[in-house]
Amino acid sequence: GTSFEPRRIDERVNLMETLLPVVAASNNRGGGSGEGPGSSASAGTYILETGGILSTDPRLWTDGDEGGYDTLSPTAVAKNALVVGSTYDIAEGYTGPSDVVIAPFSAFGPTDDGRIKPDIVAAGIKDITSPRNLLGTEEAIEATFDPVDPLNMDSYALTTGTSISAPVVTGGLALALQKRLQLKPDWGTNDYPIRASTLRGLAIHTPDVAGPNPGPDFKFGYGLLNGLTAASLMGSDASVGIKPHVREIYIPTSLATSSFKVRAVDSSKPLKVTIAWTDPAGSASAAGVVDPTAKRLVNNIDLRVVDPSNVSHMPWVLNPDLIGKSSAVRSSGATKGNDTTNNVEQVQIDSPLLGVDYTVKVNAAGALAWGGQWVSVIMSNNTVPDLPFEVTTFTQYDADTWYMEWNSVPGGVYGVQFSTDLVNWYDVSVGLNAVSDVSSAYLDVSTPSGFFRGVRYY
C-alpha cells in the first residue's frame, strides 16, 4: 500500500544525519497483531489513502503474498531506517544459523520496490522482560528489577513482538557508541559524530548468520544482532590511529570514485566490506496505486572489491520477484551482482589471500542529488596501510595562493595550518575529508614567508 510515513522518515534522517531510527518490522505476518495484511483472515479489498484519495483497488490478500512475504508496516519500508524483525531467544547462546528461529508473527520483505527489509533480526519472543506503563504516567515505571521473580511488580511483563526486538538492537548499538567514546573521548566533541548510516552499516555488517543460505534474505535480513561484535569492531577501529574498520567518506560529484587498499589478516575468515548511505527521500507514489514498484533509490552508489588478479567482487543481491511474487523465488539464496535498488551493499570474500592488496572502490554510478553523498564504509578481517601526512606536491598558484597535495587515508579529516615562527599556528584550510589516498587544497596566505604543516583531525 501507500503511506506518507516512510518518505517522512527518510526526509528526517537527511535533516538529522546522526539520528538513526530503529524501526520494528511489525507483527503482521501469520495473522499477527496490528494493521495490515497480517490482520486479514481472508481475501478482500485493500483500502489505501493517498492525499485524501481513497482507493479500492482489489487485491487477494490472505497474509501478504505467498509465504508471508510483503507484510512490512509502512514505517518499516523507509530506506534510511534500521528495520528489525523478531526471533526466538537463544537461551544457550548462538552456535550456528539453525539456532536462529524466526518468530511466527515477524513481518517479511521485500518492499514494493524490491529492497531488502528487515535489515537484521533480534530476540523478540519467549520470556523477554520489558517495562510497561499501566497507569499512563512516568511514575508507573519502576527503576528496580528482581531477576529472580521478574513479574513481582506491575511495571514489568514478559512481552513479545518486533517492538521488543527494536530496542534490543538500539541498546546494542548504544554499547558500540559507548566503547568508541571510552577509547576516544575527544571524538565526542570534535564535530565528527557517527552518522546514522554508519550505525546502520555497523549493525548490518556485524550480525551472526541466520537463515539457510549465505548472505541476506527477506526474512532475517543480514542476520541476528551481535552487539559484542559491533562494539568490538568499533573499539578496534578507535584504538588504531589509521581507523581500519569504520570510515565516512564524502563522494563529492557524480561518477566520482573513492578507492583505497586493504589487506586480509586471516585467510580462514571472510574479508567483508559494507557500505551504507542516507539516501535522499524518493518520489511519492501516485494516488490509488497498490504495490508501486518504482524504485525509491535516488543516489546509486556502487561497491566493488578488486583482488590482485583484477577481478571485481560484487555485492549480495536478492530477487524480489515483484511480478510473480513466488515464495520459492523470494526464499532462494542471495547471489552476487550489480545492485541498483538498496542503499546498503555488502561484499564478502570467503577465503581471502594474505600478503596482497585488495582495492576497495566506492563510486557514484550516476548523477547525485544535492551534488554529493556521504557514504559509510565498514570493514572487518582487514588492515590498511598507515599513511603519515607527507606533502607530495607544493607549488605557488598565484601571488597569495599555494597549491598543496599530500598522501591521505580516505575517510580521514585533514587541515592545513600556517606559521611564521613555528610556534604560533593558525588554520588556513580545515575539514578536508579525504576521498582517495591523495588530497589537495588551495591555501590563501598573504604573508611573504612562513611555514605550512598538515594536521589530521579524525
The one-letter amino acid code at 147 reads P
Q: Check if the beta carbon of residue 61 is closer than 8 Å to that of residue 37.
A: yes
Distance CA 54, CA 52 (A): 6
Long-range contacts of 329-337 (CB under 8 A, 24+ apart): 330/65, 330/67, 330/69, 330/110, 330/218, 331/67, 331/217, 331/218, 331/219, 332/213, 333/212, 333/213, 333/214, 333/215, 333/217, 334/213, 334/214, 334/215, 334/216, 334/217
* Cα 216 versus chain centre, distance: 13
C-alpha cell at 325: 511474487
Radius of gyration of the chain (CA): 24
Q: Helices (DSSP H) in 89-206: which residue ranges?
A: 162-183, 196-205
Task: State how far the alpha carbon of 440 is from the alpha carbons of 44, 170, 242, 433, 456, in Å.
Answer: 62, 39, 19, 10, 13
With a cut of 70, which residues of the chain have pLDDT below it?
1-4, 31-63, 127-158, 190-191, 286-288
- pLDDT tens digits, 84-114: 999 999 988 999 999 999 999 999 999 999 9
pLDDT recorded at residue 216? 98
The whole model's pTM is what?
A: 0.87
For 400, which DSSP code?
T
For 141, which DSSP code?
S
Which residue's entry shows cell 524518493? 282
- Which helix (H) or strand (E) is 327 found in, with range? helix 327-330
Neighbouring residues of 73: CB distance < 8 A, sequence distance ≥ 6? 24, 25, 26, 28, 34, 35, 36, 107
C-alpha cell at 43: 481475501
Distance CA 131, CA 157 (A): 6
Distance CA 324, CA 331 (A): 13
DSSP 186-249: GGGSSS-PPPHHHHHHHHHHSPBP-SSSSS-BTTTBT-B--HHHHHHHHHHHHHSTT--SEEEE
Distance CA 354, CA 445 (A): 46
Question: Helix, strand, coil % (nearest 5) of the chain?
Answer: 20, 30, 50
Neighbouring residues of 399: CB distance < 8 A, sequence distance ≥ 6? none
Q: Check if the beta carbon of residue 349 is closer than 8 Å to that of residue 307.
A: yes
pLDDT recorded at residue 149? 64
pLDDT recorded at residue 49? 43
Please state whether beta strands 82-88 and 22-24 pair in parallel, antiparallel, or not at all (unpaired).
parallel
Handedness of CA 307, 334, 375, 184 (dihedral sign): negative
Which residue's entry shows cell 587498499? 261
pLDDT recorded at residue 34? 35
Task: Residue 131: count other Cβ atoms within 10 Å of its Cβ.
Answer: 14
pLDDT recorded at residue 256? 82
pLDDT recorded at residue 128? 67
Distance CA 84, CA 164 (A): 10
Task: Residue 251: count other Cβ atoms within 10 Å of its Cβ.
Answer: 22
> Minimal CA–CA distance to 220: which of 209, 228, 231?
209
130 strand-pairing partners: 157
